[in-house]
């Protein structure tokens, strides 16, 4: 009874109406912080292009001035040692406005708004006197193709008298230590672009100049920067992502969080010499792939968005993993690093083959591309057999660790690995049908899945802290966030107790799920899996309460606008694959799309009671382009329509 009371108490405390929002959704598709006088706040956001990533640490100080530190990462400028973290990284406080004068004085400003929408836009007021005033708009963005951060500064005379601007121009070149670079000494260029050094700005007129920070290999041709063109390219790319897989519901915050998650999901793909590689980011993980972040989390999602470069990165990642298949049944490395030239397996076997089989089979089905599926089949087949060989006497998969790599105990066999293997077997059976692999193969995989489902329940099912759920590993007696995994693969036998445990005060916190009850550590990935699993299990209303709280916090709270990696580790970095996991709450959890073939899927829409409709438009999965419309009709019946161009079925 006491536990039930506490559970009801936390439900009542969740701010369903999105309390404590610093940011607001604006009318132009972005989010805006309206800065009030004395409103001191600092945050950070990561952005990326094909050759660069940048973490902007920004904020407003007590005087109302804008503060910015630029953490630059060049993934293909490899450093020594050329390991997981071997990207050239530099932090700069360089501000092209520092040496600028306005009417002979340094700039004094009051920030008015900061807006995020694939770029960062900062608008400030500069007061110069009774008749003189100036508006300053800063815009920051990564180049889509070049190794450059682009900065734009637009001054508009909002007063009644002319204003004199003196603008610094020039270039600063830094040369890195040649002994620390794989290719020798790299050049970093800090450049101010502008044709005029002194400008007289009449009332109502504007003047814009730009700056850039770029990094180059020895003898590499430097990019010719046209800031206006760079902005148009970035805006066009963001528009492309926003124009596919569009969520429409009565909840604007969920719609916008879903839309923004596509930006972070898609931008973090680097043009390495090993092909396009989706990287987590976070000032640590670039020009490399992981069995969990890429194979398991993001790759199954790319076909739904229809971003060709994303799909190419998914196929490329699986081809890299396939290089390490072997006849001795040694584990495939957890990560392929350094543009594909090396690997990392420092945590041993984390269940990586289960992650890869799960992701490759789901990607192949969702892509609808039969030739790609044929290419991926040997990898899927090998990974499934590897897992089969790792079954213990109880029939569950053994491994050295899990994706947390020893941060928390995982035992000799963990719930995640066996659950992912189970789903991979089901997906492989569906794929085998479309690839004509024969009835024997299909029957084998389905029988193995059936046996594994029973073994999972027999081995992991337990009463933990009073909840009828799972022990994450044998002997585990403390609630763990990853008990949500069976729900995401359709194993619902212990759904009620598991969902009660997940959303209880023992695991749920202001920032989502704690990794382990009683700890202060949270990783968004487990929260995102849990929300997906709760929807899939049919706990729609309960899941939606927590979904709204999470989305409002991440999109409009104090650290925005994307899902994060973890805390305290990494300081809530905006790792990119977590944004893909957010999207999958919508596609798999709320709309209930489960691929069953290259051109087929099951659909189990879960419309919250407070919604009269939900639409998912321009879905690009299954080599198609279709909408799903769900409308509540009288007597609580749902009208579900799938539209493909002019055809309805």
What 3-state class would DSSP assign to 580?
helix
Average pLDDT over residues 307-336: 98
Give yes or no for a contact between 358 and 418, defined as CB atoms under 8 angstroms apart.
no
Domain edge (last residue) among 238, 267, 289: 238
CATH number at residue 169: 2.70.98
For residues 223 and 342, membership in a common domain is answered with no
Do 253 and 388 lie in one domain? The reply is: yes
Q: Is residue 123 part of a domain?
A: yes
Per-residue model confidence (pLDDT) at position 258: 99
Q: Which of 223, 238, 253 is the last residue of a domain?
A: 238
Among the ranges given (120-134, 285-299, 361-375, 416-430), the one the predictor scored with the smallest mean pLDDT: 120-134
3-state secondary structure of 99: coil
- The tens digit of pLDDT for each residue in 228-254 reads 999 999 999 999 999 999 999 999 999
Q: 308-322 and 370-389 are packed helices; what angle lies between their axes, rounded to 10 degrees?
A: 40
Is there a single domain that holds both residue 588 and residue 495?
yes
| Separation CA 246–CA 365 (nearest Å) | 21
> How do residues 622-643 score in pLDDT, each as one tens digit?
999 999 999 999 998 999 999 9
Do 409 and 260 belong together in one domain? yes
At residue 130, the pLDDT reads 78
Residues 269 and 224 occupy one common structural domain: no
pLDDT of residue 1: 34
DSSP secondary structure letter of residue 79: B
Domains contained in the chain, number: 2
- Number of residues assigned to the chain: 649
- Enter the tokens of residue 522: 């949270």
**Whether 270 and 388 share a structural domain:** yes
- What is the torsion angle, in degrees rounded to the nearest 10, for the CA atoms of residue 404, residue 407, residue 412 and residue 413? -30
Give the pLDDT of residue 387: 99
Residue 43's Cβ-side half-sphere holds a number of Cα atoms within 13 Å equal to 22
Confidence of residue 9 (pLDDT cuts 50, 70, 90): very low
Question: Residue holding tokens 């085998």?
Answer: 432
Q: Are residues 250 and 233 in the same domain?
A: no
Please report whether residue 24 resides in a domain: no
In a domain, 294, yes or no: yes
With vertex at residue 336, the alpha carbon angle to CA 294 and CA 585, rounded to the nearest 5 degrees, is: 10
Is the pLDDT score of 257 beyond 90?
yes
Whether residue 373 contacts residue 431, with contact meaning beta carbons closer than 8 Å, is answered with yes
Reported as a single tens digit per residue, the pLDDT across 345-398 is 999 999 999 999 999 999 999 999 999 999 999 999 999 999 999 999 999 999
Q: How far apart are CA 144 and CA 139, in angstroms?
A: 15
Q: In angstroms, rounded to a whole number, what is the distance separating the alpha carbons of residues 50 and 22?
A: 31
Contact 589, 536 (CB under 8 A): yes
Are residues 221 and 297 both part of a single domain?
no
| Inside any domain, residue 102 | yes
**Residue range 594-630, pLDDT digits in tens:** 999 999 999 999 999 999 999 999 999 999 999 999 9
- Residues 587, 616 contacting (CB under 8 angstroms): yes
Do residues 155 and 203 share a domain? yes
d(CA 129, CA 134): 10
Q: What is the pLDDT of residues 152-189, one digit of tens each?
A: 999 999 999 999 999 988 899 999 999 999 999 999 99
Q: Is residue 491 part of a domain?
A: yes
Can you name the residues that pair with 480 across neighbouring β-strands?
A: 516
Asked whether residue 270 falls in the same domain as residue 225, the answer is no
Alpha-carbon distance of 40 to 122, in angstroms, equals 15
Residue 10: the pLDDT is 37
- pLDDT band of residue 648 (cuts 50, 70, 90) is very low
Q: 56 lies in which domain range?
A: 39-238
Kindly state whether residue 606 falls inside one of the protein's structural domains.
Answer: yes
| pLDDT band for position 18 (cuts 50, 70, 90) | low
Residue 646: per-residue pLDDT: 58
Residue 19 belongs to a domain = no
Q: Are 579 and 254 in contact (CB under 8 A)?
A: no
Q: What is the mean pLDDT of residues 277-286?
A: 97
**Quick check: 15 pLDDT over 80?**
no
pLDDT reported for residue 649: 45
Q: Where are the beta strands (DSSP E) in 379-474?
A: 461-464, 467-470
Omega before 159 cis (within 30°)? no
CA 609 – CA 602 distance, rounded (Å):
22
Task: Read off φ and ψ for residue 294, nearest 5 degrees.
Answer: -90, -60
Query: Is residue 312 located within the same domain as residue 219?
Result: no
- The CATH number given to whatever domain includes residue 384 is 1.50.10.10
Position 16 confidence tier, pLDDT thresholds 50, 70, 90: very low
Q: What's the pLDDT score for residue 19? A: 52
User: pLDDT for 461-484, tens place per residue?
Assistant: 999 999 999 999 999 999 999 999
What digits encode the pLDDT tens for the residues 37-89?
Answer: 999 999 999 999 999 999 999 999 999 999 999 999 999 999 999 999 999 99
Residues with Cβ < 8 Å from 646, sequence gap 6 or more?
A: none
Q: Are residues 582 and 500 in the same domain?
A: yes
Mean pLDDT of 536-546: 97
| Residue that terminates a domain, selected from 238, 265, 295 | 238
| Residue 645 included in any domain | no
Calpha distance 206→16 (Å, rounded): 44
Kindly report the average pLDDT of the chain as a whole number.
95
Residue 194: the pLDDT is 76
């Amino acid at each position: 009874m006491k536990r039930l009371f506490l559970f009801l108490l936390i439900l009542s405390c969740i701010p369903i109406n999105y309390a404590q929002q610093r940011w607001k959704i604006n009318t132009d598709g972005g989010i805006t912080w309206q800065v009030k006088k004395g409103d001191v706040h600092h945050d950070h956001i990561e952005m990326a292009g094909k050759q660069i990533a940048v973490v902007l640490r920004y904020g407003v100080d007590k005087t109302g001035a804008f503060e910015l530190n630029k953490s630059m990462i060049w993934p293909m400028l490899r450093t020594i040692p050329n390991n997981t973290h071997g990207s050239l990284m530099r932090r700069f406080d360089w501000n092209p406005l520092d040496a600028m004068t306005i009417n002979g004085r340094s700039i004094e400003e009051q920030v008015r708004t900061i807006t995020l929408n694939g770029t960062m836009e900062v608008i400030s007021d500069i007061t110069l006197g009774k008749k003189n005033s100036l508006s300053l708009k800063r815009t920051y963005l990564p180049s889509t193709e070049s190794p450059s951060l682009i900065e734009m500064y637009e001054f508009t005379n909002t007063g009644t008298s002319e204003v004199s601007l003196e603008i610094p121009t020039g270039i600063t070149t830094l040369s890195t230590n040649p002994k620390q670079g794989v290719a020798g000494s790299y050049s970093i260029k800090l450049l101010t672009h502008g044709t005029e050094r002194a400008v007289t700005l009449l009332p109502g007129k504007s003047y814009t100049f730009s700056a850039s920070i770029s990094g180059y290999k020895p003898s590499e041709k430097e990019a010719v920067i046209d800031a206006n063109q760079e902005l148009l390219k970035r805006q066009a790319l963001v528009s492309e992502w926003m124009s596919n897989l569009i969520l429409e519901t009565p909840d604007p915050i969920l719609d916008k969080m879903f839309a923004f998650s596509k930006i972070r999901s898609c931008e973090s793909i680097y043009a390495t010499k090993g092909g396009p590689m989706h990287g987590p980011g976070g000032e640590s993980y670039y020009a490399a792939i992981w069995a969990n972040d890429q194979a398991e989390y993001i790759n199954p999602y790319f076909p739904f968005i229809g971003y060709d470069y994303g799909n190419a990165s998914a196929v490329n990642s699986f081809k890299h993993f396939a290089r390490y298949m072997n006849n001795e049944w040694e584990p495939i490395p957890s990560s392929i690093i350094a543009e594909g030239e090396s690997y990392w397996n420092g945590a041993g076997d984390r269940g990586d083959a289960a992650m890869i089989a799960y992701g490759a089979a789901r990607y192949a089905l969702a892509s609808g591309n039969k030739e790609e599926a044929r290419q991926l089949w040997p990898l899927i087949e090998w990974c499934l057999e590897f897992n089969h060989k790792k079954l213990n006497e109880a029939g569950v998969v053994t491994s050295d660790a899990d994706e947390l790599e020893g941060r928390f105990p995982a035992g000799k066999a963990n719930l995640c690995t066996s659950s992912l293997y189970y789903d991979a077997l089901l997906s492989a059976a569906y794929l085998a049908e479309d690839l004509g692999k024969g009835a024997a193969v299909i029957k084998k995989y389905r029988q193995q899945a059936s046996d594994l489902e029973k073994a999972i329940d027999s081995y992991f099912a337990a009463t933990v802290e009073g909840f009828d759920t799972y022990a994450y590993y044998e002997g585990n007696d403390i609630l763990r966030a990853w008990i949500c995994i069976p729900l995401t693969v359709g194993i619902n036998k212990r759904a009620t107790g598991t969902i009660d445990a997940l959303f209880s005060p023992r695991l749920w916190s202001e920032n989502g799920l704690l990794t382990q009850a009683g700890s202060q550590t949270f990783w968004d990935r487990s929260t995102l899996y849990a929300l997906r699993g709760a929807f899939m299990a049919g706990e729609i209303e309960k899941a939606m309460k927590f979904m709204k709280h999470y989305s409002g916090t991440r999109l409009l709270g104090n650290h925005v606008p994307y899902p994060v990696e973890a805390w305290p580790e990494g300081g809530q970095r905006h790792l990119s694959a977590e944004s893909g996991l957010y999207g999958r709450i919508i596609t798999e959890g709320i709309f209930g799309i489960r691929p069953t073939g290259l051109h087929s899927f099951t659909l189990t829409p879960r419309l919250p009671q407070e919604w009269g409709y939900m639409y998912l438009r321009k879905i690009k999965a299954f080599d198609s382009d279709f909408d799903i419309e769900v409308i509540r009709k009288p007597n609580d019946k749902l009208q579900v329509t799938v539209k493909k161009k002019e055809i309805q079925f």
